Amino acid sequence: MQTGGGPCDTKMALKSKQVGSFREAIADIPDGSTIGFGGFAMPGVAFNLIKALLEQGAKRLTLVGNTTGGAAVPRMPDMGMLVENGQVAKVICAFTAATRPTDVLPFTKYYESGECEAELVPQGTLAERLRAAGAGIPAFYTPTAVGTELAEGRETRVINGREYLLEYALPLDYAFIRAVRADTFGNLQFHRAQRNFNPVMAMAARTTIVEVDEPIVPVGEIDPDQVHCSGIFVKRLIQVPPEPEGIWPTRRQERRR
């Protein structure tokens, strides 16, 4: 008698996660969600999913990312646009302000007017809080930010003669990430710097949604040694269509220019 693990079980387990549109991919995101946005500057940012969320209109969101965006020209869909659209209650970022005095982030005026909260988190700490959430670690100690304003009123502990600050894991309801290649199960490859925060955000989220540059391939087409993020962390996939429907050209389109 067969007790499990047969062909039917495998087929069901590897059911395609591809959806038909960006609108469909984010349609069920409710008000009050916590959403992580992968990317470092341009590489790895899910521009099309952000645009779809702008159109969907969910409100009172908490957004997590490296920066709110808005300094680059021409401007692409970013967290700052969601703030400007009145959809955001709070951002958690490594850079809540511009890195150069000549740059002004659109987010700044909303924070200064009290329309949106901001939590500043050191970049490495942000990555580790996300990784901890994915690994089931509720909290950890780090020397980063000890002795600064970020540590005021917070728990510290001396370990082996050095002071450490307690930081808590940062779980996400959703993560928006971008990969160069995926199979139908959601195994992902990133192109160079595109990887950045994306794998840890995928781990930290209950629902990871991925936009993919190249055509999504059948399971088995990607060498297991070349998988940068396992499909077990991915819930939905959508391929970026050619311009003008898709925002930001794929690497293949860039090579043709």
Write out the chain's pLDDT in tens, 257 residues.
344 444 444 444 578 999 999 999 999 999 999 999 999 988 899 999 999 999 999 999 999 999 998 766 678 899 999 999 999 999 999 988 877 777 778 898 899 999 999 999 999 999 999 999 999 999 999 999 999 999 999 999 999 999 999 999 999 999 999 999 999 999 999 999 999 999 999 999 999 999 999 999 999 999 999 999 999 999 999 999 886 566 655 444 444 33
Q: Is the pTM of this model over 0.75?
A: yes
- The pLDDT assigned to 161 comes to 97
Number of helices (H), then strands (E), belonging to the chain: the values are: 8, 12
Which CATH number describes the domain made up of 31-120+171-256? 3.40.1080.10
DSSP state of 40: S
Domain ranges within the chain, ordered by starting residue: 31-120+171-256
Pairing of strands 162-168, 139-142: antiparallel
CA 187 to each of CA 128, 151, 179, 212: distance values in angstroms, whole numbers, following the listed order: 22, 38, 10, 11
Angle, alpha carbons 221-225-230 (nearest 5°) = 75
